[in-house]
Structures are given as structure tokens and as C-alpha cells.
Amino acid sequence: MAEYFEAEAVVKDYDGAIVGRIFAYLKPYRLLAVLAALALAGSTLGELLIPVIQQRVIDDVMLARSLALRLDMAGPDLSSEAAGALETLRNNPRGAALGEYYFIPPGAHPPVSRKAEEELRNQGVWEPDGWYVFSPREGDPAWKVIHSYPGRFLYDGAAAAIRAADLYALPVGDIRIIRGGDLRFMLRAVLALLVLLLLVFGLTFTQTWITSLLGQRVMKDIRLALFQKTAGQSTGFLSRHPVGRMVTRITADVETINDFFTSVLAAFLKDLAVMAGVLITLLFLSPKLALVVLATMPPVIAVTAVSRLKARDAFRRQRIASSQVNSYLSERLSGIQAVQLFQGERKSAAEFSGRNRELLDANLGEMYVFATFRPLVEWFASITTGVIIGVGANMVLNLSLSLGVLIAFINLTAKFYTPLMDIAEKYTLLQSAMAGGERIFALLDTEEQIPDTGKRSIEGRVRGHIVFEDVHFSYDAHGGRGEVLKGLSFTVHPGETAAIVGYTGAGKTTITNVLARLWDIDSGIIRLDGIPIQEIPLKELRRSVLPVLQDVFLFSGTVAENISLGLPLENSRIEAAARAVHAHAFISRLPKGYQTELSEGAANISAGQRQLISFARVIAHDPAIVILDEATSSIDTETERLIRLGIQRVLAGRASLVIAHRLSTIRHADRILVLSDGRLAEQGKHDELIRRNGLYARLYKLQYEGIEG
């Protein structure tokens, strides 16, 4: 079930609170965000201007036709409907009178009813042929052409007009002269289109680059915040959360935030801007035809809403199935030896086949949603285009719409549907980003740190006097076992080496954890030089108390870096620390000595050598108190002898705790503390405890004489 709930958390709808917190990380980069928004607005505007420029070229240049009205032909017997239509046409602000004609550019007049148009045509008021109207400049060669064909042109001092049929009956050279202004306009329009395309390209590149940069920087900041938060959490918190899951939070989940900026936010904003801009442009070009387009939208909106829900469910099934496959693979591959030894290959293959089939079905279900949605939207787009052509063609024939506007409508409608088809795909990324953001901020909001409230500095005067007074501690609050330390009390004096022994589970390692405040005790008090450790700043406490933990951990890097571990130590001090624990000899034999690179987990050196380096690390940091926790459990006898000699020399004058099952390492300790069930059972020197014939004596006999107690 845990597998299921972990996968289920991946699927989440839009959450304004999460988006707001993501945007909060944009504050240091506000200028970049503004530049990205401006680039987005500019590129969107440029894309919308391209069809408008094309419309102007088609209407004003390629198909320049004006409606001609013979006002002197309007008789008194016109019906009221035709008279009203004529009055409306005569008052058109874009119209121009020339001779006995009144010319109106195509698409520049309000629609006229078929009955009124037919009556005006029958009266001779409405000329059936289109006219070409132009305004030649002074000294223009067009005037010579006009005078060369008397009777074909209407002209005054500023404008001229000719029937389209008469114009294209002229020689080609004369047509070029008459339409010279149009040719120049077309050239300027082509250049404007080229410049606009380059501008759109540049702005789109800028917007994409800035958005990607913003995503990377926000991702960097969030990842750093997550790492710092995780590194500062208590050991209890870290023990309850698997390392793989924490790594996923800091890597994969943070990557979804980058996807949110680059693939979701930018795409959504661009798509919404284009769709809104298309609708505004359509209304500007022709409100009547724009309303026709809007009337075809409700089915598309309904299909999009249903597809969004289906995509969410499909995405959820896919992620759950993927999680189950990954979990099964990780578990079986980690335990592949057990699978082979118990001949479980066939059973494992069958179980994996079932999970793999579920993943296949989930992936096919997700593909089915996309394979259905996109063709449906394309189908609706085709229907809308057909409606535009049908209604628009009728308006073009009625001269209430220009052909250029109709073509612009077709192009703009395509621009409207293109982003719509991407919404379902972008929605899955949005779900992933929301779920990733939820998990990220849940981790950032988790407060399980060891409170660093200490105000009493101990730097420069640590003697190493350790006192445990009636200390109780349990792991229960952190999902672990019951009470481990049950009223434990003991004292370690400055310069004393105290060994702690006991059966497994007696609480030996727990003493290390609570002394360094990796965990906080439930009750009682622990003092260092008479100061309760809760009153000492954590950095100073952990600088003064350094354990060599049971599980030695070395980082990838050089041997020298693992010994210094962040301190700016000179090579001589690093080498001195290594010589003190007799590690210098084997380090010198490594291929590059102290500069030899250790692999992950330091797998290229032996366990004993790793122990020696960890001792050198502690000695190089020169703590006031040293805790050796099972420190020699993985070391051979000869190496153990060398370490014991080094420890005796280096730890002189320091308080130290030696926790070990191998009693040979603590026979010469100043005092041995014997734990049993979280309490101090007995204490004394080795010989004294042997003579007492108590718990320590039984432990010693069990280990070295093979006598069962």
C-alpha cells in the first residue's frame, strides 16, 4: 500500500499555493522575469501581425477592388429599405467621390440585404464591375498613361479610377505603371514580413532562453535549500526517510520545477496569449464572422475538459504502474543472490511480467487519451474552418467581407487550435510539477531539527569532564524501539579513557548519539565541563566531541581530502595525523599517495585501511573528546595492534569513550563501564571486573574462552 500512496502523490491538479511558493523563488530574478514576459508579448504580437499584413497585401494590392455607386442614378422610386442602405453607404467614412461615382473599398461598408442590393443594381446605382481606384503622385508616369487612354479613366487632380476589366486589357508595361504604388507597397510589406519573422524568432529565442535560465536558477536555489534543510534535520528524521527517497526529492522532484518553467508555464502563457490575441484580432477584423467562430467553441471546450480529466487518470495509472515496476526491480536486483540461491528466477520473472503488463496497459491508456484528443480537436478545427469558408465566402460575394480578411480568419483559426491541441500533453507535466512541488515544500516545511539554542561557549577551555545524570532515552517518538537508556548515570573525568561494553542492544552506540546531540534525550541531563550540552552551541559541541562511528564512511575524493574533511589543513599536519595512527605506510604505497582518488564508498581500499583513515581524520581535527564506536570491529589483528599503539599516544590527556565488542581493545582502559538493558551494571578496571565475576567476566569468558554463561 505504501507503494500505491507514494505513486498516487504524483498526480495533483493545479494548486495556486504551490505556484505562489514557486514564484517566490523568482524574486531575486524579477528583471529576468519581466524581460521574459516582454519577449513573450512581443513574439505573440508579431505572430498575430503576420496574418494581418498578409490580409492587407491581398486586399489592398493583389485584389484591389472598390465598390462603385452611381449616385445620380438613384431615382425617387427606391424603396425605403434600398434608400436607407444607400444612405448608409454614402456616409461611409472610407468612401471617396470621383466624378459621378462614389467608391467604397471592399469590406469597408456595413452589410446590405440581398433585396436592397438587388434593387440598387437594377436601378444602376450599384455597379456590377469592380473598379481600381488609385492616387498617382505629382509627376507620376501614371498621368501619361491616363491621358493616353481617354474615356477609360475617371480622374481629378488627386485620384483616378478605372474598371478592373479595362485595366487588365492594357499593355503589361502600362499596368505596371498604373499599379506602381501597389508594387512598392508589396515590396515594403514583404520586407516588413521578413523583419517581423526575424523579430519573432529573436524574441522567441530570448523568451525561451530566459525562461530556461530562470528555471535552472530557481531549481538551483530550491535544490540548495532542500540540501541545507535535509542536512540540518535530526537523525530521527533521516532514519525514517530512505536515502533513495530523499535523493529523489532533491533531484527528480526539483527537475519537475524546471519543467514547470520551461515546458508548462512558458507554453501555457504563450498558448493563452496566442489564443486570446487571435480572438481579439478576429473581432477587430470582422465582428460578425468572429461571432460565428465563437459559436463553434463550446464543443471544443467540452472535449478539452473531458480530455483533461481522462489525461489525469491515465497519468495516475501510468505513474503508479511505473512506481511498482521500479520498486520491484530495485528489490529483486538488490537481492539477486538470494533469488538465485533459492531458485526464484522463474517466479520473479512471472511476477515482474504481471507488473510490466500493468505498465504497458497504463502507457497504452495514456497514449489512447492523446490519440483520441488530438484528432478530435483537429476535426473540430476542420469544422470551424469549413464554417468560416462557408459564411465568409457568402460575405465576400455580398462585398461585406474582403477575401484577405477571409484568408486571415482561416490562418488565425489554425493558430488558435494549434496550442489547444498541446494542452492535454502540457497538463500531465503540470500535474507532475504540482506533485513534485508539494513534496518539495512538504520537506522544506518539516521542522525536526535538533534545536540549536546554546548560548554558553566552550571553545578554548574544554577539559573533557562528561557527566550523565539519570538519562532516559527512547527511539519510540521516531518510529524505533522502546526505551534504550533507563536512568543511566556515570562520569568520565578529563584525560580518562572509559570503555563501554555490554550485550547488543544495551545502549552503547546510543551514548555516542546523545552525547554529540545527534538525538536529544527524553529526560535527565548530560553535562560537559559542568554545562548542560543543550546550552552549548551545536557547532562547538560537535567540534569538541568527535566519534569514529561504527560504519566508517569515506567520501569520493583524495585521501588527503578525507582526512582534512573541510578544514584548511597543511599537508604536514595531514601526514602527521596519518603517521600517528600508522596509516602513512599504506597511504605512501598508494598510486598517488595522499592524492589518490577514493572511489564511491572507498571500495578501492580495504576495510582496515578505511578505519585507519577515519582515525587519522579524528586526530587531524584534534577534538577534546574522542568516541571510538566499534572502531576496530573490521580490522585484522596486526592493524588493530598498530591502531592501539597510535591511540595510546595520541589520546593521552583527552577524555575518550571506547565502545567495543572486542574486549582486547579496552583491557588497558582507565575504567570500564558495563551496560545492561540501558543501565550501568558495573564499572571498574579489567582485572577488578574479572575478579568480581559479574557481567563483564561472563562477556570476557564468552569471547575468549568459549564458555557459555
**What does 27-59 look like in DSSP terms, one character per residue?**
GGGHHHHHHHHHHHHHHHHHHHHHHHHHHHHII
Question: Is the pLDDT reported for residue 37 higher than 60?
Answer: yes
Question: Is the pLDDT reported for residue 488 higher than 70?
Answer: yes
Helix (H) or strand (E) holding 576: helix 571-580
CATH fold of 466-704? Rossmann fold (3.40.50)
**Is the Cβ–Cβ distance between 17 and 249 less than 8 Å?**
no
Highest mean pLDDT among 44-53, 427-436, 548-557: 44-53
Average pLDDT, whole number, for the chain?
81
Cα atoms in the 13 Å half-sphere on the side-chain side of 530: 2
pLDDT digits (tens, 9 = 90+) for 325-334: 877 776 777 6
**Is the Cβ–Cβ distance between 161 and 155 less than 8 Å?**
yes
Question: Is the pLDDT reported for residue 130 higher than 50?
Answer: yes
**Is the Cβ–Cβ distance between 675 and 681 less than 8 Å?**
yes
pLDDT digits (tens, 9 = 90+) for 567-608: 888 888 888 888 887 888 888 888 899 899 888 777 788 777
pLDDT level of residue 649 (50, 70, 90 thresholds): low
Question: Is the pLDDT reported for residue 615 higher than 50?
Answer: yes
| CATH label, 2-56+186-445, candidates 1.20.210.10, 1.20.1560.10, 3.40.50.300, 3.20.20.70 | 1.20.1560.10
Question: Is the pLDDT reported for residue 672 higher than 80?
Answer: yes
Summarize the confidence of residues 287-311 as an average pLDDT. Answer: 82
Cα atoms in the 13 Å half-sphere on the side-chain side of 205: 6
* Residue tagged 567520501 (cell numbers): 555
pLDDT level of residue 47 (50, 70, 90 thresholds): confident
**Exposed (0-12), middle (13-18) or buried (19+): which is 235, by Cβ within 10 Å?**
middle
Question: Going edge to edge, which strands form the sheet with 160-163?
Answer: 131-134, 160-163, 153-155
Highest mean pLDDT among 52-61, 167-176, 335-344: 167-176
Indicate the Cα dihedral angle 68, 72, 75, 76, nearest 10°: 120
**Is the Cβ–Cβ distance between 501 and 511 less than 8 Å?**
no
Q: What is the pTM of this model?
A: 0.70
Helices 16-24 and 403-445, axial angle in degrees (round to 10): 80
Summarize the confidence of residues 262-275 as an average pLDDT. Answer: 82
Domain locations along the chain = 2-56+186-445, 466-704
Evaluated on CA atoms 534, 538, 540, 543, the torsion sign reads positive
Helices 637-650 and 607-621, axial angle in degrees (round to 10): 0
**Is the Cβ–Cβ distance between 117 and 125 less than 8 Å?**
no
Distance of CA 676 to the CA centre of its chain: 51
Indicate the SS3 state at residue 648: helix
CA angle 32/34/38 to nearest 5° reads 115
pLDDT digits (tens, 9 = 90+) for 148-168: 898 888 888 788 888 888 888
Helix (H) or strand (E) holding 67: strand 67-70
Residues 6+ apart with CB under 8 A from 284: none
Bridge partners of residue 674, in order along the sequence: 501, 682
What pLDDT sits at residue 645? 63
**Is the Cβ–Cβ distance between 654 and 626 less than 8 Å?**
yes
pLDDT level of residue 5 (50, 70, 90 thresholds): very low
